[in-house]
Amino acid sequence: MQLNKESITDAAISLLNAYGLSDMTMRRVAKQLEVAPGALYWHFKNKQELVDATARRILAPLLEPDVQGRVEKRNAQDTCAQLRALMISHRDGAEVVSAALSSPTLRTELETLIAGALDTPDEIGAFTLLHFVVGAVLAEQTQLQLQELTGEEGEKVDFEQRFSTGVQIIIVGLDAIRDIR
Summarize as ranges the residues that interact with DNA (CB under 7 A).
Answer: 2-3, 23, 25-28, 34-39, 41-43, 46-48
Which does residue 17 bind out of a copy of itself, DNA, none, counting CB within 5 to 8 angstroms by kind?
Answer: none
CB of 49 to DNA, least distance (A): 8
Which does residue 23 bind out of DNA, a copy of itself, none, counting CB within 5 to 8 angstroms by kind?
Answer: DNA
C-alpha distances in Å from residue 149, one per residue of 48, 141, 146: 28, 12, 5
CB of 179 to DNA, least distance (A): 48
C-alpha distances in Å from residue 41, one per residue of 7, 30, 94, 177: 14, 10, 25, 48
* Residues near a copy of itself (CB under 8 A): 98, 101-102, 104, 107, 124-125, 127-128, 130-132, 134-136, 138-139, 142-143, 146, 154, 162, 165-166, 168-174, 176-177, 181
The residue among 35 and 106 lying less far from DNA, judged by its C-beta, is 35
Alpha carbon distance 133, 86 (integer Å): 12
Angle, CA of 147, 167 and 113, to the nearest 5°: 110
In the chain the first and final C-alpha atoms are separated, in Å, by: 58
CB of 9 to a copy of itself, least distance (A): 23
Sign of the alpha-carbon dihedral angle for 4, 19, 57, 26 = negative
Q: Are 83 and 117 in contact (CB under 8 A)?
A: no
The residue among 35 and 138 lying less far from a copy of itself, judged by its C-beta, is 138
The residue among 83 and 171 lying less far from a copy of itself, judged by its C-beta, is 171
The residue among 86 and 136 lying less far from a copy of itself, judged by its C-beta, is 136
The residue among 66 and 153 lying less far from a copy of itself, judged by its C-beta, is 153
Alpha carbon distance 167, 157 (integer Å): 17
